[in-house]
Structure 1
């Protein structure tokens, strides 16, 4: 229906140029006509008249609806040109369509004169009864050169624009939801969103999409009642997340032998609702911690990767829990794993920071524990 609105707006400029000059913003007329294409005029015309329109639609196709819509606008061109707001245009078209009848319509008399109308409709000229058959014949005669091929060509042209506008709206809403909670610049957030969406589509259409599709369907059906549509629009499963992890992590994925393990643990840590999917908001929060937070927060994140729930029971009993992942070893960002000069001092520095972080965590736990009430002296 939105595509047909755009097509109808272009047809107005092409077939009714005088009306297009008087009404520069044709979005009002196209929005009023939305119900025409959604219901084939069934919601705006009397029943007997609407049956004639549906019969014409089954015989000639969608071009009959476009022709009838153009004929309705042409019949009210003078009044629409003098409109000052959207509400007045809507009232004019509604009043006109209410007075369109057929030979079978009971009581198809002329409308009451303008002086008998209510005060709210005083600025809308009264329109006499119009036979739907005459209106349809006039539309077919005046716009006889409008073909289905032309309409389909315009549909193909505007379909891409409508879909792109829809995607842009979703992107703006997603960034508006996430940006206040992170310190990453809006420009970088826009690039991250595009990369996030690209990875989602690449995995679905060119990768092994069986697990992703199953997880997506299960999440939509069972566990997403509390999330908005924007949060559910694009999400990554574990393989998709690992692919982006290797691109965006601050340490090189090729030379770091722990990247796969850290990616799995990070995904488990971010997947708080256990639906095997990570939302864009969760993904952005993780990136913000890695690149924009203080050093203590970064160390806290790395520490959480070595304890449950990131560290699963399977890893505790397997060889993944080795000395290579010990927190006594420093993490060299954007460097090769070769030990640089002064490595011992770096190890001590990280050890002191980890000890301080553990002390802070212990203090926070003590604050959360409710102190018992003192016993009463009886």
Structure 2
């Protein structure tokens, strides 16, 4: 691809230098690019009779790429008067097609194609390989820049729907991501993948970016939380590298997410079971309507209202009735996972201006939640399978809705 666009740029430069009037006309008609690409891509085989194209191929293998530029310039010069009179691109294409179709005919000087080749050496023999390579290098840099800009635009356009970032901010993040990334060789040739989707960053490169960009890279051991985030967002690709889509989704939550989204993310990444975590991540990353939650644990109340959303966990207690626990949209967390979550939240509060009050609130909330997990054991036992083991029946568990309610109460 680089070579093809290099040749187009070089040919345009030669047209500008040797045929300035015709170059302006062809540029105005918009056929200069079409002509150069179709001619050079097939060595003129698709635009002239095959017998004539064989002459071109012979001289090309003998004298190199300069022959193509000489011949193309000669064809344009031979048709300069007709092309200057053309009113649109269709007229120009028809004029050149008619001329090229007649190249296998004989005239008083012999075969037209032989005369054309001789004339190209007489008029443009000054074109040499060194000059061509110099111009190719100039245009190659432009091609690389244009391709980089195209990838950047594609990344911004296709990931905008996943985030609250502006297009300008996504481009800035992609620049940073691309500099730290490597190209996936297995996906670079996959036609189903867009160019920006083939870039990946490893764990080490990701940790470097977190050090400078992540608001959560704080505390005594910030790498622990960063690694949990990395592992969770690598689950969709089933690899030890993160792609740009999941990278931008992660940063969208860290920088643009509300308290609920961030708390939900912390809740999910501390799940040890990968299947539960992957299912929960799907729920987190899929857009969903805002829902209200309620948690009522008060046996003395005469009446309580349960949430209208059956996906949320509520404990609805009425006098004389067995409490019913509705299934949560997210998997339940066990006691060990909850303790690790509290440690991570403690690290996030380290160094905050109001860290003393935050620590006190976290301690209070954690104590309440530990007691809540114990209180919910008999209720979950009633909802569970009677064939479960005693260990399963007495398991301490906590739902996200309970965690959110406790944190909001101490906010």
Normalised-by-shorter TM-score class? 0.7 to 0.9
| Runs (5+) with no aligned partner, structure 2 | 278-335, 373-397, 405-411
2:210 alignment partner, one of 223, 241, 245: 245
The alignment yields a C-alpha RMSD, in angstroms, of 3.4
Report the CA distance shift for 1:27/1:331 in structure 2 as closer, same or farther (over 3 A).
farther
Asked which structure has the greater RCO (Cα within 8 Å, sep 6+), the reply is 1
Aligned equivalent of 1:141, options 118, 122, 135: 122
Q: Deviations over 1:132-185 (max 9, x none)?
A: 010111111111211111111101111111111111111111111001221012
CA contact (8 A) 1:28 1:86 kept: yes
Aligned to 1:277: 241
Q: Secondary structure at the match of 2:45?
A: coil
Q: Does 1:161 align with 2:126?
A: no
Question: How far does residue 101 in structure 1 lie from its aligned partner after superposition?
Answer: 1.2
Report how many aligned residue pairs link the two structures.
Answer: 313
Maintained 8 Å contact 2:83/2:95 = yes
Deviation at 1:56, TM superposition (A): 1.1
Instruction: Find 2:355's aligned residue among 321, 340, 356.
Output: 340
Give the equivalent residue in structure 1 for 2:255: 291
CA contact (8 A) 2:66 2:129 kept: yes
TM-score (norm. length: structure 2): 0.67
Using the alignment, how far apart are the partners of 2:353 and 2:340 within structure 1? 16
Q: Which residue is 1:302 aligned to?
A: 266
Q: CA 1:200–1:344 in structure 2 vs 1: closer, same or farther (change >3 Å)?
A: closer
Work out the CA distance in 2 between the residues paired with 1:133 and 1:238.
62
Residues 204-251 of structure 1, C-alpha deviation per residue, up to 9 Å, x if partnerless?
xxxxxxxxx8xx345568xx78x5223533122322222222222103
CA distance in structure 1 between the partners assigned to 2:116 and 2:349 by the alignment = 73
Query: In the aligned structure 1, how far is the partner of 2:403 from the partner of 2:91?
Result: 65
1:39 pairs with 38, 42, 51, which one? 42
1:98 pairs with 77, 96, 101, which one?
A: 101
The SS at the match of 1:3 is helix
Cα distance change on mapping 1:67 and 1:353 into 2, 3 Å: farther
Structure 1 unmatched ranges of 5 or more: 103-107, 111-128, 202-212, 313-320, 363-378
Alignment partner, residue 400 of structure 2: 358
Structure 2 counterpart of 1:131, from 98, 112, 115: 112
Indicate yes or no: 2:48 matched with 1:65: no
Rounded to whole Å, the distance in 1 between the matches of 2:362 and 2:349 is 17
Which runs of structure 2 are paired with 1:1-378 in the superposition (5 Å)? 1-25=4-28, 28-101=31-104, 131-201=112-182, 216-218=184-186, 227-253=192-218, 255-257=219-221, 259-271=222-234, 272-307=236-271, 308-309=273-274, 325-327=340-342, 330-331=345-346, 336=351, 340-347=355-362, 358-359=400-401
Asked if structure 2 preserves the Cα contact closer than 8 Å seen for 1:179 and 1:189, the reply is yes
- Tell me: CA distance 1:336–1:179, structure 2 relative to 1, closer, same or farther (3 Å): same
Structure 2 distance, partners of 1:58, 1:332, is 69
8 Å CA contact 1:49, 1:132 repeated in 2: yes
Further displaced range: 227-236 or 149-158? 227-236
Query: Radius of gyration: which is bigger?
Result: 2
SS at match of 2:164: coil
- Residue 20 of structure 1: how far off its partner (Å): 2.3
**Alpha-carbon contact 1:270-1:278 (below 8 Å) kept:** yes
Cα contact 1:20–1:26 (8 A) shared by 2: no
- SS in structure 2 at match of 1:100: coil
Please, which moves more after superposition, 75-84 or 265-274?
75-84
- Residue 63 of structure 1 deviates from its aligned partner by 0.7
Instruction: For 2:162 and 2:20, locate their aligned partners in 1 and report how far apart those are by CA, in whole Å.
Output: 49
Give CA deviations for 1:95-142 in whole Å, capped at 9, x if unaligned.
22111116xxxxx589xxxxxxxxxxxxxxxxxx97101011111111
Q: TM-score, normalised by structure 1?
A: 0.72
Structure 1: how far apart are the matches of 2:346 and 2:241?
Answer: 28
Residue 324 (structure 1) shift = 7.8
